[in-house]
Amino acid sequence: MVKRVVHVAVGVVVDPEGKVLIALRPEQAHQGGLWEFPGGKCEPGEPVEVALARELREEVGITVLRQRPFCLIRHDYGDKDVLLDVWKVDAFTGTAIGKEGQPIRWAEIPTLDPVLFPAANRAIIRRLQLPDTIAITGEADCEDDFLDRFQRLLDASPGMIQLRAPQLDPQSYLTRAQRCLQLCRTRGVRLLLNTEPAVADQLRADGLHVNARSLLSLAHRPVADDRLFSASCHTPDELSHAQMLGADFVFLSPVQRTASHPEQPALGWQAFAVMARRVSVPVYALGGLGGEDLAVAREHGAAGVAAISAWWPANRSR
């Protein structure tokens, strides 16, 4: 028997202070007593943008002025499949109220607790709490040069950093990671360690990143749920495996040809979009990109942009 798919338009409504609007589901409803992002079912043949504008007007009394696609999330509730078509609304008129008697509130995004939301909403929260850009460390002439560049990278206030250093032996990487974690924690920047799970666990890092080869060797999520887990992907199979493992986000590359890997053919934006939209895990675009590519990346389904050369500072002496 084929389960029905319920197409739901969901609004991530953000006010000028960066807070997000959430509403409490009635106790008697499915998943009752949990908070959710406002929205509702699309009528047959109704464009999702129209459905969302209608639902937000009817439920919370606001008129949408600007919205853009945020993510697509498919969730199996057992008795039905739900497709959440999530749009970010960052311009609207009116004052939000619970027009159907439901409690509503404006919440700080970092304080959103996934446990208090329906399972299908939790991926929205993870994505909301991710940065637009992720910087990946590059090469350096020596350790002093690396730390100087790393400090300057922190001065640029990156959303998150991945510590990549494949040329280092395990002990050297451990030493570097300890120092970088100390620096990041003083700045409030999250650091992903591109290493073995045991090292990330030993250092209590913010998260673990694995390459595509390591990804495919894993049978289960290698870190606890309170740590981030990301992976490098290049193919649909790798994306699917990362999603099955419960990755919090992935890097899909190369979108454009890069100087560091000129032998790898570029995916291009169209192929990137097709692959990214087949999975619900947030996908960062990587390869020949920088901050100026963020808008086009979002248009093609990316959660954001990751890069090495665009943000890794140059040696001061060159």
pLDDT tens for each residue of 226-247 = 889 999 999 999 999 999 998 9
Q: Which 3-state string (H, E, C) describes 94-119?
A: CCCCCCCCCCEEEECHHHCCHHHCCH
CATH number for 52: 3.90.79.10
Residue 10 lies in a domain: yes
Q: Which of 121-125, 134-138, 247-251 has the lowest mean pLDDT?
A: 121-125
pLDDT of residue 301: 86
Give yes or no: residues 187 and 117 share one domain.
no
pLDDT of residue 26: 86
Mean pLDDT, rounded, for 101-126: 89
Give yes or no: residues 53 and 198 share one domain.
no
Rounded-to-integer distance, Cα 185 and Cα 205, Å: 10
Give yes or no: residues 103 and 76 share one domain.
yes
Instruction: State how many domains the chain has.
Output: 2
Give yes or no: residues 210 and 256 share one domain.
yes
CATH number for 176: 3.20.20.70
On average, the pLDDT of the chain sits at: 91
CA dist list (Å): 301 to 71, 164, 216, 298: 7, 25, 24, 5
Find all residues with CB under 8 Å of 204, minimum gap 6, and list them. none
pLDDT of residue 257: 85
pLDDT of residue 317: 66
Give yes or no: residues 171 and 109 share one domain.
no
Find all residues with CB under 8 Å of 100, minimum gap 6, and list them. 58, 59
Find all residues with CB under 8 Å of 171, minimum gap 6, and list them. none
Choose one of 73, 96, 124: the last residue of a domain: 124
Q: 75 or 97: which carries more pLDDT confidence?
A: 97
Q: What range defines the domain where residue 101 resides?
A: 5-124
Residues linked to residue 305 through DSSP beta bridges, in sequence order: 133, 285
Q: What is the pLDDT of residues 136-173, one digit of tens each?
A: 999 999 999 999 999 999 999 888 999 999 999 999 99
**Is the Cβ–Cβ distance between 152 and 313 less than 8 Å?**
yes
Give yes or no: residues 147 and 12 share one domain.
no
DSSP states of 224-292: -TTSEEEEEE-SHHHHHHHHHHT-SEEEE--SS--SS-TTSPP-HHHHHHHHHTT-SS-EEEESS--GG
Whether pTM > 0.85 for this model: the answer is no
DSSP label at residue 139: -
